[in-house]
Structure formats: structure tokens, C-alpha cells
A and B are shown apart, each in its own frame.
Chain A
Amino acid sequence: MYHDNDRAKTFNRRALMLAGGKAALVSTLAARMYYLQVLEADKYVMLAEDNRVSLRLLPPPRGPILDRNGIAMAINQHNYRVLVVAEQTPSLAYTLDALSTIITLTDHDRARITKEARRRRSFVPITVRENLSWEEVARIEVNAPDLPGVLIDVGQSRYYPLESLGAHILGYVAAVSENDLTGDPLEELPGFRTGKAGVEKIYDMALRGRGGTSSVEVNAVGRVIRELERKEGEPGVDLALTLDMRLQEYAAQRLGDESAAAVVMDIHTGALIVMASTPSYDPNAFNRGLTAEEWKELVNNPRSPLSNKALSGTFAPGSTFKMLTAMAALEAGVVTPDQRVFCPGHTQLGNIRFHCWKKGGHGSQDLIGGLKNSCDVYFYEIARRVGIDKIAEVSRRFGLGNPTGVDLPNERPGLIPDRAWKRKALSQPWHPGETLINAIGQGYTLATPLQLCTMTARIANGGFAVVPHVARDAITDKTAQPRTAPEWPSCNMAQKHLAMVRKGMFAVSNEPGGTAYRARIEQEGMWLSGKTGSAQVRRITMRERETGVKKNDELPWKERDHALFVAYAPEDNPRYAIAVVVEHGGGGSAVAAPIARDIMIEVQKRERARMAGSDGGHSQ
């Protein structure tokens, strides 16, 4: 049998080799299976879940903002949108034709929808139009059977019922921009709005709430098969402010068309009761969308309606600064309340002459008189004795030169100059004459109305470094809890010095001849103590002094003095501090003081009514 044995042997040997090779390959398969399904299983289980489960965010309603009495300042409104799902329509064009007979659809809308439909998967709803009126919604609903694939969706949009009132404190919301991204997944949602200014911005995290999630099972093309789990989110917190919007309204009316700010604060708690800045704007316009002209007008208006002057406007405080100079001098011991300074209408330092606001001079002045008459020469003299560094140091203790720390964005620090500052900022040595100018709140010195109000509050409350706030509660990222009773640090000013300054302020408003005597409050128990200020914004030349200083009315608006007034009331048991600044308003006593007086009367009236109300409530 022709070498058959040879062949068979070879065959058997080789069959064994081949089988061995196959066994090796099968082992490889088994090992690979073990690797994938045992060693790496966890990783792949996760990846499979990732594949299968898609998390959808459910946007939470944004928290409303209320004033101290519960008046709604910012609420959510339903925003009815009409959507179309391309795959459920017989043809998109047909459906859009049908829709356009019911609601207005511009060619632009149509082009956008068709474009979006081509880009997206056919089961993704596309927004046809937003902000439908109720009538339009009704018309679509009635015709629903003839409009397959068309759905109505309710979104939420922010609405500010008080419109321009309190706009600066509220701020506004707008679409999330690149810079706002915090990593909160809510920000990725189409149509999500984030706070861009005011408390909407500063308490944004608390107001926006926590998004809920719905985990849905999706297939490979992303179609939702079913909902697996739903976790409801938490709505944003109700944000109650310390502001009283009726007083705010009154203050805004009283400020009128002026470019001005008024701030009223509880001197013990720091609660801001009024923070008005005029002119204002309607924040709803931002949600609606501004036209280019409207925007231009807002930005180019010289009275800057977009800026909150109460904390972003810095002004030379003028004579309202004199309390600080007085306290610095008293604390340094360079003057006693009874020491008198003679005012001939000017003083001489080197070869420069510094004028008092009163041409003829005030004659002999002590501390009280100096404040009451706002005698510049008196303060020139004590400032010369105490020096700028001490004045600056005391000013900072009373809240000037640094942001107060109020819970609002864009607060400006103002400026309190001293030698070190000038060396650093201007690389120049301090000139002794500058001490005199800054001691009466002119020169480099700048403060915001909020700082001036805080300063007044600290003088009135016995020297406690109260910090203003607008949110009634302590707001964390997710909750609002009542504030604990504050324990303010001390300003470290001797009570007798504070008392002396308050006495001077009392004289300003309540003694005949005081610069604000005509703007006093006569109602019993409501008396206020204040200080006027008229901050010069231009240089008065020698020639003008000889021919007679021009009256404010004769000057163009931009060159008129700023009118300022700070005060607290009631004078015997202080509770409220106020600062009023009217930009280029003229004299403090003529313009700012009457406004402050009227506001303070309203504040105290409202307060009495509130007290009576709550007392009644207790006795029941």
C-alpha cells in the first residue's frame, strides 16, 4: 500500500500540531472573554449605562424677589411657546403654512425653522415662536387636530412688576455668557437666564434653585424610550429684601428727574430701607430685547440711568465730611470743643489763600458752631493741626475709602487720600494745602452715597461699624435663614467725641442759623440731625472771586455743585440714617436737605404705622 503508513504518520503528527495551534487560539478567545467580561467588566458596565441612560435636566423655577412687606419685585411669568416636531408632521412646510394662517410667522422665522429642522434629528422639537399671547395659544389649541406635530410648551420668563422702581437693586437676568459659566449644568439649558446685575446677580445661585433630573433610556439614535427615574429639583429661594418699595417709590418721586441717589438705612441692623438712584430704567426691556436706539439712549444719557449711583457713583462729599475731620482732631487732642477759631472768610497757608464759603467769614467759631455754620476756616485750622493721615485713618473707621461690603455688585470704594496714597498713586509728596482741601471733603476725597449713609449711621449708633445689606435673610447658595442679631465691631471712637459731633449735627438742623434749619422736621419725635454739603466741581478763579462767585443757576449743569445731605432721625433715639446726593443739584441746604427731610418723615410715619400694626397683632 504505497507508503500509506508514512503518509498516515505524517498526517497524524501534523493533525496534532494543527490541533495544538487551534487549542492555543481557543485559549486566546477564552482569555479575551475573561478579560472583557471579568477584569474590565466594571468599566464596560459603566459605558453601557452611559450609552443607555441620558440625563435630562428639569429647570427649577427662579425664586421670586419681594420687598420687606412682601410686595413682589421680581416674578416668573409663563412664556408660551409653540414647538413643532418634524417627524410628526405630514410635511414641515405644510404644517408651517397651516400655522401661519393662525399666528404671524415671518419669513425669517420660517427660514430659521427649516434650517434647524435639517440640522437636528427629526424627533427634536423646534421652537417656532415664543411669547405667544393667550389668544394665540387658544387659537392653536382649538386647531390642534389639524396641526399634527405642533405643541404648546410653557416656559418661564422673568418679570419685574414695579418696572423701573428698584431696577438698580434688582438687576436683571439674561442669557448665560461665556464668562458666567460656573459649571452648573443648568447653564447649558437653552433659554436659561442668569442674573447679570443687582441682587439677581449676587444671589443668583440661591435664586436659580437646583435642577431636577429625569433619567431616560435612549436608543442609539437618541430617541427616548422611557423614563427610568425622576428627581424633582428645588425651586429657587424666595428672596425677601429689606427695602420698602413704597418708600422707595416716594424717594424716587422726590428725586424726580435729577441725577441723584438717596439711601436710607437702619443704623442698628444695616438694613437698607431705601436705595433710590435716578434716573432708572425698566429691566423688563432687557428680557424683551432692546432696540439699538433704546440701548444707545441708555448708554449715552449723561445722567447714566444704568448705573446705581448709590454705590457706583462717587462724589466729593464736601461738608458732609466735616464730622470726620472734627472727630480726628478731637481724638488727636489738637482741639477741644470749646476752643475757638476766628474766621475772617479765608485763611492763609504759605502764599496760598483758602476761602470760606461765606465771603465775609463767620467770626469766632467753636466746634458746634463750625459744624452748624459749616465754617470752612474752622476746619482748615483744625485739619492743619491734626494732619491728613489722622483724618484718613478716622474716615476709614467710619466706612469711607473702602467698599462697605453691601450685598450688591459693582460697589465702588471711593477714595480717602493720605500721604502714602499720594506717594504711591501719583509719585508726589503731600502738599500741606491739600490737607485743608480734603478736610472739607474736596480735592481727592470721593465717597459713594451709600458710604456717606453708613458713616452717618455709625456716628448715630454710638460708633458701631454697621455694614449695610439688602437681603433680609442670610442667604447661602441654597437656603435663606433669618439673620442672627449682628454684633458690629466698634469704630473705636470715644463716646464724648461722637456726642459732640451729634450735637453739632443737631444744631445744623434744629438751631436757627444752622445750614439746614429750613429743612428741619417739626413733628414731635421725628426730628432729624444732619449735615449739609455742597461739593464744588470746578475751580473758582481769583477774578471770579473779585467779581462775585457765580450762582449755581447761572452755570451749565455739568459745572454746578453736587448737593449733599446726610442725617439721622429721630435725633433723641436714632434709628435711621439717610444720605441724599443730587449730582450737580446746587446747594446741599437748598436742594438735598428738603428731599432728605421729606423722605425721613415718610420713613418714620411708615415705621410708626408698622409698629402700631404689629403691637395690635400682639395684643390680640
Chain B
Amino acid sequence: MMRPTQRLSTQLNRTEMTWRDKIWQINWSLIGVLTAIASVGFLTLYSAAQGSLEPWAIKQMVRFGIGIGIMIAVALIDIRFWMRHAYALYLISVVLLVAVEVKGTIGMGAQRWIDLGFIQLQPSEIMKIALILTLARYFHGATYQDVGRPLFLIPPLAMVLAPMALVLKQPDLGTAMMLLMSAGAIFFMAGVRLWKFGVLLAGGLGAIPVAWQFLHEYQKKRVLIFLNPDDDPLGAGYHITQSKIALGSGGIFGKGYMMGTQSRLNFLPEKQTDFIFTMFGEEWGLMGGLFLLGLYVLLVTFGYAIALRCRSQFGRLVALGVTTTFFLYFFINTAMVMGLVPVVGVPLPLISYGGTAMLSLLFGWGLVMSAYIHRDVSIGRRGAHDD
């Protein structure tokens, strides 16, 4: 139908794409991997409820369905739209975080939710996406030389530290660390000189004794328990000890689906949320765990491939930022339940029962896919407005 030269020119210039072009570009294998991971979650939640769709699995499926819808919608929206509104989204997120401070409902001992009536909003989750967008936009226009100037780095640092401080105040150490780390990845990808990271790392390590003073008692306890869980096997170390028992007793092939004794007999705490990987590992063993890990790695690889394929710096940074955030989610969660890092409230992405995290993650993957669909769209320094 089309001559090869014509095709090439359309590919090279996707500044104006029709809806049909975009839908054609939707990356169905990426959606396939996401669905596979989420399905592992459905299965495990079904087992966690002793073989019942209620109360978790069915709700999780509905949320995933909505999430995939949102994701596709986000993906089809022009990436320049997201870039144009990045700062606004960031500001809204900051306002929401402040709102949580002012008028939040107490959940799990920490103020993290805002009740909008139909959904309980967790502004810190939105912030994870907004921060990526706003940093990506900031660095999009920056030249390699720009990034080399220390003064140039002060605004983005402020963009990171402000929400971090608000999240820490909630207090939510896990999310604050995630914000810091994904922001750090974007700084790194944007080309901030390596020695600056070295200085920050050294400074950070030096600040640990100072920071220790500001930690809440329960946070200190978690760190201490992490360092020696056997100190208090029935108290605060209980979670991590029981989690290791559940995982370890699963062995290579697991105890079988719906046969995890640790989870079924409630020795395992929060088995449907933060410790869901433990339950999966108990029932499916090392093989199941490696399979799930493989799915996650596959998804991250998709993210990398998309980022590298992007022509715009914004798209590249967004794709890698979201991918890294996602990576941090599953790394911190699995490392936590296996006793490699202290217990912090980070869910297993797409699997742990919970609405906000799933929606914000799929929103993020929507952005990644948008970057894919608009991979050949070139964006000028000033954003959507072509120079």
C-alpha cells in the first residue's frame, strides 16, 4: 500500500499521530506481563482468603481492570501534554500532601490518607509519579553543561526535598526513601556528575547518627529488630521471623497452592498486603519466587528498552523513572520480607492488596507506554512548543 520511503518518513515524524496510529502502537506484550504479575496477585489473594474471592481477590481484579483502563488512556494522551502539565501536577500533589497533614484520617497509626468520599487518596503515591514527571521536565531542557553547574541543581533538589519532608512527617519512612531513590535515579540518568553522588553518599552516611535522633521510636525499633530479629521473636521481631519461617519452609517447590500452613494459621502477619510475597513463596517455593522475580525483571527490561528507544529526553527520563520506582517497590518489599532490609511499609507492586498503589503504578506504566507510543516525537527544549 505504502512505499517504503513514505513509511520511513511517517515513522520519523510522529509529531502528529492519529488515534488509529496510537492504538496500533499500544504495547500489548507489556500489558501481558503486567496482567501476568497481577494474576499472581489474584491467585495469592484467593488463597489468602482460604479459597475465596471475597474479600480481596475480586476487589483487586476490579481495581486492576480500572487501572488498565486508566493506563491505556494515559498512554494514548500525547506525551507533550504530560510534559506541559508536569509542574501543575507536582504542585497539586504537594497541596494534597499538605492537606493530609492538616486534615487526614488516621490509618495504621500514620496520617497517609485523604478521604474524597468515593476513594481514599494516598497523596504520597501520586507524588511518586508527579515527582518523576516534574524532574523529567526540568532536566529535559538541560544540556550536559547545564547539569554540570551546581546552581542548576538547586531547584530540582528542592523539588525532591519538599515532598520528602512532608512524607517523613506523616511519618512514612519507606515512601520518603523511595522518593529519594527514584529522584536520585533521574538525577543520575540526567547526567549529574558522579563525584556529586559520592559527596552526597558520604554526607548521607555521616548524617545517619543525626537522622537517628529524628526517627520515631517504632522506626528505630524496626531498624534494631532488623539488625537482630532474634532479640524479640514474639514482639517486634515476630513479623520478620515468621516471614522467614514461612519462606524457608516452602523449600524448592513450595507447600502447594492453598496449603501454606504459616499463612493459613495466621502466623504470618499482613499476608494479603506487605507480606504477600512470603505467602506466595511458602506455597510455590523457590520456583514460584524465581518465576515472579523473572516477570518483574521482564517488565523492568521492557521499561529500559522503551527508555533507550525514546527520542526525547523527557520520555527517556519518565520511562526510566517509572521503571526504577517500580523496581524499588518490588526490591524493597521482597528484600524486607526476606530479612535483607528493615521492615518498611512498601507493598509488592501489582500484587499486594490495596488500591492507591496499584492505580498509581498503572498510571506510571501508562506514562511509560505513552513514551513508547510517542517515542519518535521530538520535543523542543521549551517543552511542547517547538523551537
**Interface, chain A (partner B; CB < 8 A):** 2-4, 6-7, 10-12, 14-15, 17-19, 22, 25-26, 28-30, 32-34, 36-38, 40-41, 43-45, 47-49, 51-52, 217-221, 225
Task: Using CB atoms, name the residue of chain A closest to B331.
Answer: A25
Q: Given A29-B338, A32-B335, A38-B286, A48 and B245 touching (CB < 8 A)? A: yes
Q: A11-B189, A220-B265 are in contact. Are A29 and B248 (CB under 8 A)?
A: no
Additional A-B contacts beyond A11-B316, A38-B252, A217-B261 (16; CB < 8 A)? A3-B144, A6-B144, A7-B191, A15-B304, A15-B307, A22-B300, A32-B339, A37-B248, A37-B250, A37-B289, A40-B248, A41-B251, A41-B252, A48-B245, A51-B262, A51-B265
Return the contact of B320 from the options A18, A29, A49, A219 (Cβ within 8 A).
A18
Closest to A218 in B: B265
Interface check B247, CB cutoff 8 A: yes
B244 at the A interface (CB under 8 A)? yes
Q: How far is B246's CA from A43's CA once the two chains are assembled, in angstroms?
A: 11
- With contacts A7-B313, A220-B266 taken as known, whether A51 is within 8 angstroms of B290 at the C-beta atoms is no
User: Cβ of B289: which chain A residues have Cβ within 8 Å of it?
Assistant: 33, 37
Q: What are 29 of the A-B contact pairs (CB < 8 Å)?
A: A2-B381, A3-B143, A3-B144, A7-B143, A12-B308, A14-B188, A14-B191, A18-B185, A18-B188, A22-B300, A29-B334, A29-B338, A32-B335, A32-B340, A33-B281, A33-B338, A34-B286, A37-B248, A37-B286, A40-B248, A41-B251, A43-B248, A47-B245, A48-B248, A48-B261, A49-B249, A220-B267, A221-B266, A225-B265
Instruction: Known contacts A7-B313, A14-B188, A14-B191; decide if A45 and B265 are in contact (CB<8 Å).
Output: no
Q: Is B293 engaged at the interface, CB distance under 8 Å to the other chain?
A: yes
Contact B267 A44 (CB under 8 A): no
Complex Cα distance, B249 from A515, in Å, reads 85
Tell me which residues across on chain B come within 8 A of A19, comparing CB atoms. 304
Residues of chain A lying within 8 A (CB to CB) of residue B249: 41, 44-45, 47-49
Q: Which residues of B contact A (CB under 8 A)?
A: 143-145, 185, 188-189, 191, 242, 244-252, 261-262, 265-267, 281, 285-286, 289-290, 293, 297, 300, 304, 307-308, 313, 316, 320, 324, 327, 331, 334-335, 338-340, 381
Chain A to chain B: the 9 pairs with minimum beta-carbon distance, closest first: A44-B248, A48-B249, A219-B265, A220-B266, A37-B286, A10-B191, A44-B249, A41-B251, A45-B249
Which secondary structure dominates chain A's binding surface? helix
Which of chain A's residues have a CB closer than 8 A to the CB of B245? Answer: 44, 47-48, 51
Instruction: Report yes or no: A36 in contact with B244, Cβ–Cβ below 8 A.
Output: yes
Residue of A nearest to B268 (CB): A220
Chain B nearest CB from A599 CB (Å) reads 65
CB of B382, distance to nearest CB on chain A (Å): 12
In the assembled complex, the CB of B147 is this many whole angstroms from the nearest CB of chain A, namely 9
Q: In the complex, what's the smallest C-beta–C-beta distance from B338 to chain A, in angstroms? A: 5
Q: Which residues of the other chain, A, contact B144 by a CB distance below 8 angstroms?
A: 3, 6-7, 10
Hey, which chain A residues are within 8 Å of B307, CB to CB?
Answer: 15
Known pairs A11-B191, A218-B265, A220-B266; A29 contacts B143 (CB<8 A): no
Asked whether B265 lies within 8 Å of A217 as measured between CB atoms, the reply is yes
| Distance of B25 from chain A, by nearest CB (Å) | 22
Q: Is there contact, CB below 8 Å, between A26 and B331?
A: yes
B residues less than 8 Å from A44 (CB atoms): 244-249
Q: B317's closest neighbor in chain A, by CB?
A: A11
How distant is A229 from chain B, measured CB to nearest CB, in Å? 15
Contact (Cβ within 8 A) A15 B189: yes
Cβ of A51: which chain B residues have Cβ within 8 Å of it? 242, 245, 261-262, 265, 267
Closest Cβ of chain B: how far from A219's Cβ, in Å? 4
Please report the C-alpha to C-alpha distance between residue A36 and residue B267 in the assembled complex, in whole angstroms. Answer: 18
